[in-house]
Amino acid sequence: MTGLADRRPQPATAVTRDVNAAVHVPPPDQDAEAALAAQGLIAALPADFTVERDGGHLPAWSLGPYQFLTGEAPDTVNPSLWRNALLNMNTGLFEVVPDAVYQVRGMDLSNISFLEDPTGASQEIVVVDPLISEECAAAALGLYRGHRGRDRKIRAVIFTHSHLDHYGGVLGLFPDRELPEGVDIIAPEGFLEHAVSENVYAGNAMQRRALFMYGALLERSAQGQVDAGLGKYNSTGLAGLLPPTYTVTSDVARPGHVVSFGPVNLEFQLTPGTEAPAELNFYLPDVRTLCMAENATPTLHNLYSLRGAQVRDAKAWSEYLRQSVTWYGHRSDVLFASHFWPRWNTDETPDAIVSFLTSQADLYRFLHDQSLRLANHGRTMTEIAEDLDGALPESLAGQWFNRGYYGTVNHDIKAVYQRYLGWYDGNAAHLHTLPPEQAGPRYVEAMGGAAKVVDAARQTYENAKSADDYRWAAELLSHAVFADPADDDARALEADILEQLGYQAESGPWRNFYLAAAHELRTRPADGRPPETPSPQIITPPVLAAMPLEMLVDYLGIRLNGPEAANHPLTLGLVITGGLPDDPTQCTLQLRNGVLVHTPHRARAGTTDATYTLTRSGLNSLAVGAATPDQLRDSGDLIITTGTIDPLNTLNGLLETFSYWFGLTTP
């Protein structure tokens, strides 16, 4: 048998060919979404367009590897996903509204938009959602200015919501990566809290899973990554954060209330708990144009993101979309968003925008209501997902803008169940199940040994009549792999089977997860040692600099080994210099009961084990393990006021560093 690491992706099986052959898509000249994706192009990106990464040997972004995306779908890609991948190759600078709204698409997972003075009197602009990476944002701004005028000056930046692909590149918009005086950063209420908590608190695990979801380590090919469902993939340049200077609150967000930033007039709609915990839509009354952020794009979105995120509220999402129709639907001629392409009302389709928003509102409401209907009949999460997968009314499923390129009916239904009823299905046998490392060996032993498990899975795979047989065989083999990670036969066969499920998937994230799992099974050493790929920097210096002190200490508490810390109670007094304007300058850290407690005031005399004066930059370095207390003392960032450095060293020794390359499909 060929070594696992040398095993290449396999061709499509007969079952996979049959599954994909049954998927029919409109030809490009009859595809309404294809026409919208191409409309308004000013300057296309070159086929090999690349953005170099500052200080890196790999590019931050490149379209070059996607040139295989031409013609009919190969049998290793679901034709519907292939269609979506082709549409996402409409890249470049686009005119959305003449002399008012422009977009750069295909320079990151998300779009960056530029709002101009529709009267032409001012050269000031507002930038919307500056991508993930600073290098990409700078390149997009350069492309825009190259066609719309080099003297276009940024007056404000809008972060529509708290996901990294909508704010991470902001520093790339400005010289020296610093916010100029007089430039506003606009964001919805709760933005900073959620941007930090999502990308820092669970950032290591989330970013590791995101590698699978977006297929970052996969070859770009017909047997590898073809699309992320929402765009091509995540850029990998420098990412940062700027705190908002203007927060959109409920007092501001109401129809008819206009807020001006330079020459650009805006109305805001807050939509918390929809696609992100903090999100806003906005309306441009001067040009009858509506921006839907990421709340309405031509795909069924995630109610639960496979990378890991808070479950979203399908009912609230539906209601906010209906509110958008009420507030703006009949006032809008154009709709654009932070992913995909815009929509326009025309003489042939005068209600295109209202119909689109209404259809998506009903889509999320259907998933919400029908999931709960079946839950109240006693059906469990997995059963409901199977019951309703494929059961959308044709009036919804027949709209290509509702297809599951990013979210899916199946896992969105599970999200609704989880939101209301949680992870437990009520079956007492599932209340306290064994973890896979313990369950795997027992399953294998009960079935007569590893060879019999692998043989049973192989027979199921080779005689499969449907994808359901593949699902069952993969479940069997997962037990075998967790029983013995060195079982190359089990790993190789599970990889082959998961690969076929990936080939069949309409959802970009599902395909990528399946194929990334196959890659892990074939390449990850059985002893779990990480590959030679360096770990990414999850929490960057700009993100740390924007974090309020309380959130920074919260992250220290997440790194704390609580069971061990319970044996080392401590009280430390800190004076913080160079902090954020709203942060306290003095605080007390108490290690008690295995938790780190932060109190924003000076400790009472005689109650501390030691007190220190510490620069905020030094505390930032300590928080992410970039410097030890001794190093901070030697650099002058730490001054011992009372006591010794030993208590701080004790605390630092209880902080764990997270390993990035943990297994997902393997132990």
Q: What is the DSSP letter of 220?
A: B
Pull the structure tokens for residue 234: 């995540």
pLDDT above 70 (res 5): no
CA angle 306, 309, 314 (to 5 degrees): 90
Pull the structure tokens for residue 173: 């918009």
> Confidence band (pLDDT; 50, 70, 90) for 530?
low
Pull the structure tokens for residue 73: 């779908």
Distance CA 161, CA 158 (A): 9
Distance CA 464, CA 75 (A): 17
User: Would you state the pLDDT for residue 601?
Assistant: 85
pLDDT above 50 (res 225): yes
> Confidence band (pLDDT; 50, 70, 90) for 539?
confident
Q: What is the pLDDT of residues 130-149, one digit of tens each?
A: 999 999 999 999 999 999 99
Bridge partner list, 41:
94
CB-based contact 285:394 (threshold 8 Å): no
pLDDT above 70 (res 533): no
CB-based contact 388:377 (threshold 8 Å): no
Residue 343: φ, ψ to 5° = -135, 145
Distance CA 215, CA 517 (A): 10
Distance CA 178, CA 149 (A): 22
Task: Look at residues 208, 78, 219, 305 and name the one whose alpha carbon lies nearest to residue 515.
Answer: 219
Q: Which residues have CB under 8 Å from 620's CB, separation 6+?
A: 541, 544, 545, 552, 626
Task: Look at residues 364, 351, 251 and name the one whose alpha carbon lies nearest to residue 304.
Answer: 364
Torsion of CA 494, 495, 498, 504, to 10 degrees: -140
Distance CA 185, CA 500 (A): 46
CB-based contact 297:348 (threshold 8 Å): no
Distance CA 374, CA 98 (A): 49
Q: Is 130 exposed, middle or buried (0-12, 13-18, 19+ CB in 10 A)?
A: buried
pLDDT above 70 (res 115): yes
Helices (H), 291-337: 314-328
Q: What is the pLDDT of residues 393-440, one digit of tens each?
A: 999 999 999 999 999 999 999 999 999 999 999 999 999 999 999 999
3-state DSSP assignment of residue 615: strand
User: Would you state the pLDDT for residue 532?
Assistant: 64
CA angle 667, 522, 512 (to 5 degrees): 85
Bridge partner list, 615:
577
> Confidence band (pLDDT; 50, 70, 90) for 1?
very low
CB-based contact 493:451 (threshold 8 Å): no
Q: What is the pLDDT of residues 139-196, one digit of tens each?
A: 999 999 999 999 999 999 999 999 999 999 999 999 989 999 999 999 999 999 999 8
Pull the structure tokens for residue 476: 């069997």
Q: Is the dihedral of CA 427, 428, 429, 430 positive or negative?
A: positive
CB-based contact 245:184 (threshold 8 Å): yes
Q: What is the pLDDT of residues 316-352, one digit of tens each?
A: 999 999 999 999 999 999 999 999 999 999 999 999 9
Mean pLDDT of 234-251: 95
Task: Look at residues 539, 546, 538, 542 and name the one whose alpha carbon lies nearest to residue 191.
Answer: 546
Distance CA 554, CA 623 (A): 10
User: Would you state the pLDDT for residue 215?
Assistant: 96
Please state, for a pLDDT cut of 90, what percent of the chain lies above it.
91
Q: CA 255 from chain center: how many Å?
A: 30
Q: Which residues have CB under 8 Å from 589's CB, separation 6+?
A: 553, 570, 571, 572, 573, 574, 596, 597, 598, 599, 651
Mean pLDDT of 10-38: 97
Q: Is 563 exposed, middle or buried (0-12, 13-18, 19+ CB in 10 A)?
A: exposed
- Long-range CB contact pairs, 446-451, < 8 A, 24+: 450/480, 450/483, 450/484, 450/487, 450/489, 450/490
Distance CA 45, CA 338 (A): 18
Distance CA 503, CA 99 (A): 43
Bridge partner list, 640:
612
Q: H-helix or E-strand containing 158? A: strand 153-158
Mean pLDDT of 547-554: 92
Pull the structure tokens for residue 502: 């990936």
- State which amino acid sits at residue 237: G
User: Would you state the pLDDT for residue 199?
Assistant: 78
User: Would you state the pLDDT for residue 542?
Assistant: 82
Q: What is the pLDDT of residues 284-296, one digit of tens each?
A: 999 999 999 999 9
